[in-house]
Amino acid sequence: MYNQTISTLLNHRSIRKFKDQALSEEQIKLLVECAQAASTSSFTQSFSIIGVEDPLIKKQLREISGDQSYVEENGYFFVFVADQYRNQQIGEHIDTDTSVLDTTQRLIVALGDAAFAAQNMAVAAESMGLGICYIGSIQRDVKKTAELLQLPEFTFPVFGLAVGYPDQEPEKKPRLPFTSIFHKNVYRKGMSEDELKGYDQQIADYYHSRTGGNRDETWTGQIAQGLSAPARMALKPFLEKQHLGRR
Amino acid sequence: MYNQTISTLLNHRSIRKFKDQALSEEQIKLLVECAQAASTSSFTQSFSIIGVEDPLIKKQLREISGDQSYVEENGYFFVFVADQYRNQQIGEHIDTDTSVLDTTQRLIVALGDAAFAAQNMAVAAESMGLGICYIGSIQRDVKKTAELLQLPEFTFPVFGLAVGYPDQEPEKKPRLPFTSIFHKNVYRKGMSEDELKGYDQQIADYYHSRTGGNRDETWTGQIAQGLSAPARMALKPFLEKQHLGRR
């Protein structure tokens, strides 16, 4: 069952430091082609990809993301957009009412299409020896991101994808135990005390070995940290303004 | 740049007829492991996978999906769940306020995590010679689907993934032209008349050759068909009931 693709998938780790080497035009085209080959709901292809090359835009996206250097310093930077605008334009073009595009179904479909395409690109890049990092934090100031990329109504910038030649070799981060993610037939409620403790220990060991004992963190500690305050509260009004998921 | 993984990605086509041969326990485990290896927002791993083996549940999911036979007849059937319930349980366990879990950010994160994991599984399956088909239509009666799988609050069944040994060899469906999906620096509004016509012709040719001339359809025709009526209007109230994306 094991093959090159499985190895690529199982070897994933996010790369946050890239060499100063740009991707070639051929690499970019092939990555986009792989992204496009992914499944798409009802064949609507409800996504777009922005290739951000303008240094000024990259710099500003870096600021929006909370100054993550690899948003600016990478081999190439893509932004994946959930896109019902194309469908809206086609509807107008063929004189069809497009009012259904503001439904929750269409928002979910576009988010899925964008994510399938992005994950295909991520896998393709890693198979070519490149590294990737998703940048969800372009949503920290989603209005500004949309302005920079001149996104029209019916679109939503879901995440960036920094791609490039890795300049670091992070260890693979251990995932939750199989039984915590996988449920048979029906949802099994809650992880046991033992499962949580065991996994916390694994993650603590991971950070210890990675930082020579300097980082002391557990997974539940990280989850708790994430629960401390609501984030990106501009997302809902922004989606509303974009006519997405209104009903 | 080409390698086995790129070939797998570029060769994708959805499979809607599977041989009567079940996946092995090892295959299922490896597929889930590949799914788990995908990127996950802030390492929250906000998704779950339900392996649906019970014939009665599969039969009912088939009905919900609008009687798509391959929901019932396949090598294995997975449902991917956007899951903030695990985080809610962890928060309660460590006595932390979990009220942030009802934000739009958390819904978008969970949808993304589920989609990244699913796409990894799809790619893994295809690399092993298996075929896949996403089943978004388990959302046609989302409340019933959630009841069948006993999904708790803070969860949402995003799609099914039918996996199995292909019993058909469909042609690859041509994707939109590169220039219609890919934008440089800023969003380019609208496809030109020529782009639309050219692509419509490509899709018409695809259906002609696939059906011996019996299916006469264009892409814009399909898009128009999809615009004819709003669909799955129960999604928004369902998400609300699940405490997802409330603010």
Q: Which residues lie closer than 8 Å to B189 by C-beta, 6 or more apart?
A: A85, A89, A152
Strand partners, B78: B51, B161
Percent of chain B with pLDDT over 90: 93
Instruction: Give yes or no for A144 touching B (CB within 8 A).
Output: no
Residue of B nearest to A246 (CA): B236
Mutate to test the interface with B, among A3, A4, A5 (most CBs of B within 10 A): A5
CATH code at B4-170+235-241: 3.40.109.10
In chain A, residues 102-131 whose CB comes closer than 8 Å to chain B: 103-105, 108-109, 111-112, 115-116, 118-120, 122-124, 127-128
| Chain B: closest CA distance from residue A198 (Å) | 14
* DSSP H or E run through B82: strand B76-83
pLDDT of residue B215: 86
DSSP B107-160: HHHHHHHHHHHHHHHHHHHHHTT-EEEEEGGGGTTHHHHHHHTT--TTEEEEEE
Q: Is A3 left (phi over 0), alpha (psi -120 to 50) or beta?
A: beta
Residue B213: pLDDT band by 50, 70, 90 thresholds?
Answer: confident
Span B57-111, pLDDT tens digits: 999 999 999 999 999 999 999 999 999 999 999 999 889 999 999 999 999 999 9
Q: Is A163 left (phi over 0), alpha (psi -120 to 50) or beta?
A: beta
Mutate to test the interface with B, among A90, A155, A223 (most CBs of B within 10 A): A223
Length of chain A: 247
In chain B, domain spans: 4-170+235-241, 178-216
Percent of chain A with pLDDT over 90: 93
pLDDT of residue A1: 81
Among the listed residues B244, B242, B111, the one whose alpha carbon sits nearest the alpha carbon of residue A115 = B111
Residue A43: pLDDT band by 50, 70, 90 thresholds?
Answer: very high
Q: Which of B11, B108, B232 sits opposite A111 (nearest CB)?
A: B108
Q: How far apart are CA B22 and CA A21, in angstroms?
A: 46
Instruction: Give yes or no for B42 touching A (CB within 8 A).
Output: yes
pLDDT of residue A213: 86
pLDDT at position B209 over 90 = no
Average pLDDT of every residue of chain B? 96
ipTM associated with this complex: 0.98
pLDDT of residue B140: 98
Residue A6: pLDDT band by 50, 70, 90 thresholds?
Answer: very high
Contact B160, B78 (CB under 8 A): yes
List chain A residues with CB under 8 Å of B219.
43
Q: For residues B8-44, b (16+ Cβ closer than 10 Å) or e, as one string?
A: bbbebbbbbbbeeeebeeebbebbbbbbbbbbbbebb
Structural domain A4-170+230-241, CATH architecture: 3-Layer(aba) Sandwich (3.40)
